[in-house]
Structure 1
Amino acid sequence: MRVLVTGGAGFIGSNLCKKLLAQDDEIEVRVIDDLSSGSLANLAELDVQFFNGSILDQEILSTAAHGVDAIVHLAALGSVPRSISRPIPSHEANATGTLQVLEAARANHSAHVVLASSSSVYGKNPTLPKVETLQCMPMSPYAVSKLATEQYALAYAECYDLPVLPFRFFNVFGPGQMAGHAYAAVIPVFLEAALTGRPLPVNGDGEQSRDFTYVGTVVDTIHAALTERITGGPTNLAFGTRTTLNELISMIEHHLGRPLDIVYRERRSGDVRHSQADNTLLRSTFPGIEPTSLDVGLSATIDWMTRQLPTIPAS
């Protein structure tokens, strides 16, 4: 099977490439990535065919997708705050970019497309846990662009019989996810601060909750979707946990064996207050997937990041 991973040099993409190559000698992996947030270092020593370019570049995308059996579409311009600051680039990368990927799949004998949407599409809808049939109420241009991502996929399934499966990701974390930029995810931001002796920055009161999902579980699920050629509608890729940021900080303190300084800041515009997945559809579709707990995943992530950063002595 020939698989193209868009955004394959990024955090989730590179973890997926490692999984695919480790699990199946018959899989040929291609990656297209413009390296705007990913890094070739993430693909070091991996036997992938790399295409340096944007999914918005129709020529290079067509070349990368030629003859593939499946596309895992992870390339995106992430971050709610970035989309609020600059909405048009988010739309172009996430909505128009997805349209280009779907066209490339359609041109390749209806290649199977597994693609990343986001829990942010639920937005202001207060219902917990978030079941896929809830009304989506996006609160940011990023969330709107991700809703467009999955809706374009469903439209192509309806109009062209394209086999698709959109996953709604919930706060994916794990080894390979660094901070170091303005739009970094919360776990690497907290860990980098903790390991370098700086206060942990919390936007709001820290009582906002998230359904953190370990990257190993995510790539296991995507691998199963590819090998079993599973198709369907939007599917939450999370397992129904609910952890506040203050609880997360307490867990980090426990793992590091010392208290941490915290700085509480203004709440960010567009941030969802609470997020928790209903995992009924995921469990029924992928009964063999066993999730890695937040505690175990956090330990593995701390071990990995400790090797990347200068640390302060434990007290």
Structure 2
Amino acid sequence: MENSELKILITGGAGFIGSALCDYFIDKKFQVVCFDNLATGHKKNIEHLLSNPLFKFIEGDIRNVESCREAVAGASYVLHEAALGSVPRSVNDPITTNDVNVGGFLNMLVASRDAGVKRFVYAASSSTYGDSTGLPKVEDVIGKPLSPYAVTKYVNELYADVFGKVYGMETIGLRYFNVFGRRQDPNGAYAAVIPKFVSTLMAHQSPVVNGDGNFSRDFTYIDNVVQANERALFNTNTNAVNTVYNVAFGERTTLNSLITALKKYLATYDPAIKDVEIVYGPERTGDVPHSLASIDKAKELLGYDPQFSMEQGLEAAVEWYWNNLKPLTK
């Protein structure tokens, strides 16, 4: 079967990760339906795809089950990226986070089940590890969630598992670890740390680090995540489905090291950035101190083979930010 005969629904397709997936699968000549309510995604992320005959954009909300049914009609596969991210957002507004991340997820599962979708691959989260202190994080050892957001992402995994057992659906959850890269939004109260730091440094302003900067993360470049999604979608190993995988690079970096690297790469464009001071603030409620993934399971069962280290990804991301964000910081 030709790729152009296969339709992939990408929920949250106008977002940071979703739009990268749209680009990739359109480039591979699949039919792609992008379903997004544009609450955190942006039309500009997919504007270049709108004239492509293989691409369709549906503006709608996963909280509306009929919209979900319309979006999934005729789709062979679903990549479910739609969610309200951010631990602080969930702490401030747990009800909306739950409505979107749990209610919307269940709507998409039901719509996908009823449409006979072949496989449902969804964005899970490293936040599921909660208060588990062991490093590296291994899929079958989790702790108690530390935020409403983490609760919602764990409930997603439970629902996916049940739909596999009760309805025979094929589901795969990908626990993303601090994904970064092109198009990640630097604006708003809940912006991710890397684009927020980059835009602040580009404006010669001091970035604020929560805590002393020694918290560490397994920062994961967007192209590694795209690869994991493709391998989850089309893997023919029967042991690879109805489970969850860590998606990361498998190395951890402190926030202090991250800022040092960002200043180094940004200084190649603007030498004054290397002299910008860093400000340290209080730790953030619900934050996990350290995060590092074991990616052995994904390597073994999915054939996951991440190509970009944190440093390689940062260099590529900074180039994109410089070319695309510079007008915004002047």
TM value normalised by structure 1? 0.95
Task: State how 1:50-65 maps to structure 2 within 5 Å.
Answer: 50-65=57-72
- The count of residues paired between Structure 1 and Structure 2 equals 311
Query: Which structure has the highest helix share of the two?
Result: 2
- 1:254 maps to 264
CA distance in 2: counterparts of 1:194 and 1:45, whole angstroms? 29
Deviation at 1:220, TM superposition (A): 1.4
Is the 8 Å Cα contact of residues 255 and 299 (structure 1) preserved in structure 2? Answer: yes
Deviation at 1:228, TM superposition (A): 2.8
- 2:11 maps to 6
Give CA deviations for 1:83-136 in whole Å, capped at 9, x if unaligned: 111101111100111100100110112431000110001111101000001033
3-state secondary structure, aligned to 2:213: coil
CA distance in 2: counterparts of 1:114 and 1:12, whole angstroms? 13
Over the matched positions of the two proteins, sequence identity in percent amounts to: 40
Deviation at 1:288, TM superposition (A): 5.5
- 1:37 maps to 40
Aligned partner of 2:215: which letter?
A: Q
Is the 8 Å Cα contact of residues 76 and 94 (structure 1) preserved in structure 2? Answer: yes
Aligned partner of 1:272: which letter?
A: V
Deviation at 1:225, TM superposition (A): 1.9
Say if 1:311 and 1:40 are closer, same or farther in 2 by CA, change over 3 A. closer
Which ranges of structure 1 fall in alignment gaps of 5 or more residues?
none
Task: State how 1:50-199 maps to structure 2 within 5 Å.
Answer: 50-199=57-206
The answer to whether residue 274 in structure 2 is matched with residue 264 in structure 1 is no
The answer to whether residue 31 in structure 2 is matched with residue 15 in structure 1 is no
RMSD: 1.6
- 1:301 maps to 317
- 1:274 maps to 290
- 2:308 maps to 292
Aligned partner of 2:294: which letter?
A: D
Aligned partner of 1:247: which letter?
A: S
Which ranges of structure 2 fall in alignment gaps of 5 or more residues?
1-5, 268-273
Give CA deviations for 1:208-228 in whole Å, capped at 9, x if unaligned: 000000001101111122233
Say if 1:88 and 1:306 are closer, same or farther in 2 by CA, change over 3 A. same
